[in-house]
Chains A and B, each alone.
Chain A
Amino acid sequence: MRAKVTDRIATLCFYLIAILIIGILAGMIGFILFKGLHVINWDFVTEAPGSVLTGGGGVGPQLFNSFYLLVLTMIITVPLGLGGGIYLAEYAKPGQLTNVLRLSIEVLSSLPSIVVGLFGLMVFVQYTGWGFSLAAGALTLTVFNLPLMVRIVEQALGTVPREQKEASFALGVTHWHTIVKVLLPAALPGILTGTILAAGRVFGEAAALMFTAGMSSPDLDFSNWDITSPVSPLNPFRPASTLAVHIWKINSEGIVPDAKEIASGASALLVIAVLIFNLFARWFGRLIHARLTSTR
């Protein structure tokens, strides 16, 4: 009898823990949205921050910077991540190199972001002479995003059933061809979901960017698509503050009259973006999965 009672109590505890965690999350998101949702409107999302004197304005350039930085980071990370993941899953033989590689991945992915930021400051900002720039920010983010990406690809490839691979080999298809034509398509849903979730993390990063991409944006001319012009939003060598960095800055140097509203609005926007990333990742993963399984 005692054992049964203990079992009940334990089960109850587990439920309480689960409810507590959901509660914390719901509370946090609710709090942020409650504080900031009323600030968000079309102007807030599109307009540049207003003058320090009058306040007003929005976070348009910051939002753009966040996305653009994400794109730049992904352009660097995705090919390299695919390469690394394929190497580890398919080619790596147990040995010194693989060992060092795995250690590197583990260390890099759990480094404090501030240490990575300082490294970026020294190498990408000062050593290259780029100054605070999107490029420096993207490379810095790559430092801890790449190991994550490699792991995602490796794990996704690992879930592909052995039989598929062996069938392909049996047909005399080369190893590389098998990877490209059989394994990658099968692993695609996992890779995509993982990538989008990793993107969410890049989106919210601030500590590593304060020292690398800078804390303010120049006046951008969104009709200027000349990538070398300093006022073009696309120039990767211009400084840029992202949404997360902007929240940090507004919170601290709150000289704008409506600093509180902007900070809460921007936080809400950031949380909404993260939620969208998550939902999108799920939906997209399922969609691709359905496509692949029904066509095959």
Chain B
Amino acid sequence: MLKKSLLLGGVFALAFGALTGCSEGTSGQQQAGGSLTIVGSTAMQPLVEEAGKAYSAKNPNVQINVQGGGSGQGLSSVMNDTADIGNSDLFAEEKSNENIDPSQLVDHKVFVVGFAPVVNPDVGVDNLTQQQLIDIFTGKIKNWKEIGGKDLPVVLVNRPESSGTRATFAKYALKGNTEFRAKGGIEEDSSGTVRKIVSETPGAIGYLAFSYIDSSVKALKLDGVEPTNQNVCTNKWKVWSYEHMYTNKNGKNSKTENAFIQYILSGEGQALVKKMEYIPVSQMKVERDADGSVKPE
């Protein structure tokens, strides 16, 4: 019995070995053909995919694979070298309490996204002060009539705790107020779902990247400032973040990686950024670092 099972174990191991061996062969060939694996932020995925298609059309020997998975997955994959480029909505520094060592990574800021609070068109409010916004998201304001809107209860539509968008929104729109787990809210992972829920639910408020805002929801002014790309460029509208593509300092494909990132930063790539209603980095009149301090003031 024992002998038999040992033998079988051996067969199994061999079969498994053959399988993995075969895979190494193929992945080796993929590298020769020049293939990039890009993993991370789902918010960045559509743009990077689009850029990848355009890039491969120009450079047929380069294959670009773009996977979602989220910013955390992007950063950890590039850290342990299972991906060539990690897309992230946040600075690696902001995730450094989560086992990420920013000193091993190279940051490439490829474009800028503005975020705005959005409400169901029926709430009857189109401007909020920042304090009102904080009070809404921390649960102090429970009905829209308290701030001059209709008599509708406030329904919060949040992103999950770990989401980059939520972190940006908490940091810049709510002044670092992370305690906004007001009870009775809804949490959804993706911009599309948030938009759908806000547009259908009376009294709902959420937050979305500018590019997701359409006529089904209403973007709010904050202290009288309109959420527009122009206002983001001058930092008059403060709720925005860089979108990062991180590479590993010891990455094995650094040549191809850099060529692709340079392409996104080139005129052609940034034209695509504009077309998708994001903001090219070159248009920013200010610079902001991981701590949130802005230069020039």
Contact = CB atoms under 8 A, between A and B. Distances in A.
Interface of A: 51-53, 126, 128-132, 135, 214-216, 218-219, 228-231, 235, 237-239, 249-256, 259
B225 interface: no
Interface range on chain B (Cβ under 8 Å from partner): 35 or more
Interface of B, helix, strand, loop or mixed by DSSP: helix
A179 B8 CA distance: 22
Contact of A237 (B27, B46, B64, B192): B27
B185 interface: no
Contacts of A229: 33
Given A237-B23, A237-B27, A252 B192 contact: yes
A46 to B, nearest CB: 18
A128 B20 contact: yes
Contacts of A126: 82
A228 B63 contact: no
A253 B192 contact: yes
B30 interface: yes
B211 interface: yes
Contacts of A228: 25-26, 29
Interface string B25-55: 1110110010101000011011101100100
A254 B197 CA distance: 13
Interface of B: 19-20, 23-27, 29-30, 33, 35, 37, 42-43, 45-47, 49-50, 53, 56, 63-69, 82-83, 189-193, 195-196, 211-212, 275-276
Contacts of B83: 131
Given A230-B35, A239-B65, A252-B193, A129 B23 contact: yes
A261 B138 CA distance: 37
A52 B27 contact: no
B217 to A, nearest CB: 13
B50 A53 contact: yes
B81 to A, nearest CB: 10
Given A252-B191, A254-B190, 18 more contacts: A53-B276, A129-B23, A132-B67, A214-B67, A215-B67, A216-B45, A216-B49, A216-B68, A218-B63, A218-B65, A230-B30, A230-B33, A238-B65, A251-B193, A252-B189, A253-B191, A255-B46, A255-B192
Task: Give the 10 A-B residue pairs with the shortest CB-CB distance, closest first.
Answer: A254-B192, A252-B190, A52-B46, A215-B68, A230-B63, A237-B26, A214-B67, A255-B46, A230-B30, A228-B26
Contacts of A216: 45, 49, 65-68
Contacts of A255: 46, 191-192, 211-212, 276
Contacts, number: 92
Nearest to B67: A214
Contacts of A256: 46
A68 B169 CA distance: 42
30 contacts: A52-B47, A53-B50, A53-B275, A128-B23, A129-B82, A131-B82, A135-B23, A215-B45, A216-B45, A216-B67, A218-B64, A219-B56, A230-B30, A230-B33, A237-B23, A237-B27, A237-B30, A239-B65, A251-B192, A252-B42, A252-B189, A252-B190, A253-B68, A253-B190, A254-B191, A255-B46, A255-B192, A255-B212, A255-B276, A256-B46
A250 B190 CA distance: 10
Contacts of B195: 254
B7 to A, nearest CB: 15
A229 B25 CA distance: 11
Contacts of B53: 51, 219
Nearest to A51: B50
A251 B191 CA distance: 10
B23 A130 contact: yes
A121 to B, nearest CB: 10
A131 B189 CA distance: 23
